[in-house]
Amino acid sequence: MARYWVFASSDANRARLHLGSCMYCRDGHGPARRLLVPGGPQTWTPFATVEAAQQWMDQLHYKDKSLCKTCMGEAVDGRQPASAGAGSDALT
């Protein structure tokens, strides 16, 4: 299972990097009782490392990109996540 997940919403122009264990991520399922539409404007993308997730987020043209304050802490621009893994491949 992926350790890190990026939630991206084109409608909200926002992306968040989460730990898979975060209550808002739940290993890419999102918050309990909140349904995602398959192929819709909201997606969860898994990554093995925080570095790979941040590189992917850097390519997004969203105004609001940051780490989840609940599970990760600092903003993506600060490059200081709560923890980091090794390697750099997405698990897609």
Q: Could you tell me the residue ranges of all domains in the chain?
A: 4-73
**pLDDT confidence bin for 83, thresholds 50/70/90:** very low
What's the rounded Cα separation, in Å, for the pair 81 and 92? 22
Average pLDDT, the chain: 79
**pLDDT confidence bin for 67, thresholds 50/70/90:** very high
pLDDT at 39: 61
The pTM (predicted TM-score) of the whole model is 0.72
For residue 80, report the phi and psi dihedrals to the nearest 5 degrees. -130, 70
If residue 56 lies in a helix (H) or strand (E), which one and from where to where?
Answer: helix 50-59
